[in-house]
């Protein structure tokens, strides 16, 4: 017998029992089917059928289509941003705006309705909120507020100048913006607080990415910039929590919210921080971080976010604070970042960008006066942040070049600004027109950061002087010289 014949016989012997079993099951099913067809069909239940919509299977298909569109667009434009030597996150933000009424809805409204239909927006919005909660937790885990030596006082004064000056300028600007651009019924206090916070934030993660791309994140001045941004972000989030509590409550309730916030922060520092440190030490003694510990931290993030939301400030503050009390150099923080950063950055944050883009309508700025006002907002925001950091840096002994470069870096606002603006719009404090103006300001100040930094440091780059501030005890060392 040939080799093929032996193979066929062997295959038949192997498959024959399975074929007989499948055929027997089919025959039995048809016998059962014959019995079942004789049973009268049950009557329709009104309660069971009222939730169906024309036999549709639910929102999964349009949600999958919307997420596919969002991820594809953000990755594509993000790659283009890297090609033009901009942070990829800025390309992703621009892609989100392009998917909204400012471009796609203007050029092809039918395509916008098909790709991002309104019924799926609540789902996209929920994913966006979850994304920024996890993102702010990751931002908190990256904060290192340790300030060795006598540089600490200088860094605090520079970072606070970068908050106070633009915040006060924003509050002054609110005097002119309140009547035409605030939402109806909003108090001036709430409006001024939000405009001031919008002017003073710094995009700490975007700044870290810019420094890393420029190869200066390990220099002394790079560390100064990151520490100033970290302190400034922490201060800005405290101001934002105040703004949210004031806008949500009556004056008496706002005071209660502020007091509860202070209690919450105190509990996180006195109880939460030791618990996180103990958990981090426990993980260090093991070969790998168990899934149970990672799940426990994520549950703690959600509980912390829920607590601050119930208190009356935004859920993001709770997630951010929990990340800040987690030891940022621990393996637990590193493993958490590796596990969830990809999902947050590739899927959830793009949903936030698209959600922001759908709320941004550039065509709302349809007059010369509105564009001039938008330009004035950009100018005042830049003067406050750039100028405040520059002057404070010079007063603390930093040379002109480094102080100017530091001011340019701190002027970057990026994603953190969009989070603040969305909160203000959700609370109906700022109008859609002002929202659009401030989004344009956030994009402009962030896009100018890298080119301006390179222009300032072109002849004397930080990367060529990594030891400029090695003598922390000597404030007049070469990097800080006048």
List the chain domain ranges: 60-114, 131-459
Confidence at residue 53, expressed as pLDDT on a 0 to 100 scale: 44
Task: Please determine, for residue 384, whether its predicted confidence score (pLDDT) is greater than 80.
Answer: yes
Task: Please determine, for residue 299, whether its predicted confidence score (pLDDT) is greater than 90.
Answer: yes
User: Which CATH entry fits the domain spanning 131-459: 1.20.1530.20, 3.30.465.10, 1.10.390.10, 3.90.1180.10?
Assistant: 1.20.1530.20
445 vs 198: CA distance, rounded Å: 12
Confidence at residue 465, expressed as pLDDT on a 0 to 100 scale: 42
Closest CA to 138 of 395, 335, 292, 407: 335
**3-state DSSP call for residue 430?**
strand
Closest CA to 76 of 91, 63, 64, 97: 91
Task: Please determine, for residue 393, whether its predicted confidence score (pLDDT) is greater than 80.
Answer: yes
Give pTM, 2 decimals: 0.75
Task: Please determine, for residue 466, whether its predicted confidence score (pLDDT) is greater than 70.
Answer: no
412 vs 333: CA distance, rounded Å: 26
Confidence at residue 259, expressed as pLDDT on a 0 to 100 scale: 83
Q: Which two tokens stand for residue 234?
A: 């922490």
Region 464-468: mean pLDDT is 42
Confidence at residue 387, expressed as pLDDT on a 0 to 100 scale: 92
Task: Please determine, for residue 382, whether its predicted confidence score (pLDDT) is greater than 90.
Answer: yes
Task: Compute the mean pLDDT over every residue in the chain, rounded to the nearest whole number.
Answer: 81
Region 261-274: mean pLDDT is 89
Higher pLDDT: 474 or 457? It is 457
77 vs 355: CA distance, rounded Å: 16
Task: Please determine, for residue 471, whether its predicted confidence score (pLDDT) is greater than 80.
Answer: no
- % pLDDT > 70, the chain: 88
Q: Lowest mean pLDDT: which of 146-155, 390-399, 459-468?
A: 459-468
Q: Phi/psi of residue 89, each to 5°?
A: -60, -30
3-state helix, strand, coil in the chain (%, to 5): 75, 0, 25
Q: What is the pLDDT of residues 186-227, one digit of tens each?
A: 889 889 999 999 998 887 777 877 777 777 766 777 778 877
């Amino acid at each position: 017998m040939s080799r093929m014949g032996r193979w066929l016989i062997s295959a038949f012997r192997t498959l024959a029992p399975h074929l007989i079993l499948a055929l027997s099951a089919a025959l039995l099913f048809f016998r059962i089917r014959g019995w079942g067809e004789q049973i009268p069909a049950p009557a329709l239940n009104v309660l069971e059928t009222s939730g169906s919509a024309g036999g549709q299977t639910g929102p999964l298909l349009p949600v999958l289509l919307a997420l596919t569109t969002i991820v594809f667009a953000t990755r594509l434009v993000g790659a283009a941003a890297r090609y033009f030597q901009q942070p990829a996150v800025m390309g992703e933000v621009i892609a989100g705006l392009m998917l909204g009424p400012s471009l796609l809805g203007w050029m092809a409204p039918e395509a916008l309705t098909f790709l991002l239909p309104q019924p799926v927006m609540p789902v996209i919005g929920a994913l966006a909120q979850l994304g920024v909660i996890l993102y702010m937790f990751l931002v908190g885990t990256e904060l290192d507020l340790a300030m060795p030596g006598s540089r600490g006082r200088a860094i605090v004064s520079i970072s606070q100048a970068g908050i106070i000056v633009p915040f006060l300028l924003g509050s002054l600007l609110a005097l002119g913006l309140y009547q035409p651009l605030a939402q109806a019924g909003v108090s001036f206090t709430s409006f001024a607080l939000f405009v001031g916070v919008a002017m003073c934030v710094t995009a700490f993660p975007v700044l870290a990415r810019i420094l890393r791309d420029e190869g200066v994140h390990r220099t002394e001045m790079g560390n100064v910039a990151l520490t100033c941004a970290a302190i400034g972000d922490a201060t800005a989030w405290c101001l934002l929590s105040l703004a949210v509590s004031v806008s949500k409550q009556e004056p008496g309730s706002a005071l209660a919210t502020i007091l509860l916030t202070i209690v919450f922060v105190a509990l996180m520092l006195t109880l939460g921080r030791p618990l996180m440190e103990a958990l981090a030490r426990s993980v260090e003694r093991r070969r790998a971080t168990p899934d149970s510990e990672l799940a426990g931290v994520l549950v703690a993030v959600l509980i912390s976010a829920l607590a601050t939301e119930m208190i009356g400030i935004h859920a993001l503050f709770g997630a951010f604070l929990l990340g800040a009390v987690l030891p940022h150099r621990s393996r637990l923080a590193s493993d958490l970042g590796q596990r969830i950063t990809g999902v947050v950055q590739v899927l959830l944050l793009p949903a936030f960008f698209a959600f922001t883009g759908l709320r941004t309508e550039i065509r709302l700025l349809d007059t010369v006066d509105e564009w001039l006002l938008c330009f004035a907002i950009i100018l005042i925001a830049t003067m406050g942040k750039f100028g405040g950091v520059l002057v404070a840096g010079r007063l603390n002994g930093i040379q002109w070049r480094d102080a100017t470069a530091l001011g340019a870096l701190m002027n970057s606002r990026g994603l953190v600004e969009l989070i603040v603006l969305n909160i203000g719009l959700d609370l109906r404090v700022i109008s859609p027109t002002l929202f659009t103006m401030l989004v344009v300001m956030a994009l402009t100040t962030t896009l100018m950061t890298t080119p301006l930094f390179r222009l300032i440091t072109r002849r004397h780059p930080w990367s060529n002087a990594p030891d400029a501030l090695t003598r922390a005890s000597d404030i007049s060392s070469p990097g800080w010289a006048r």
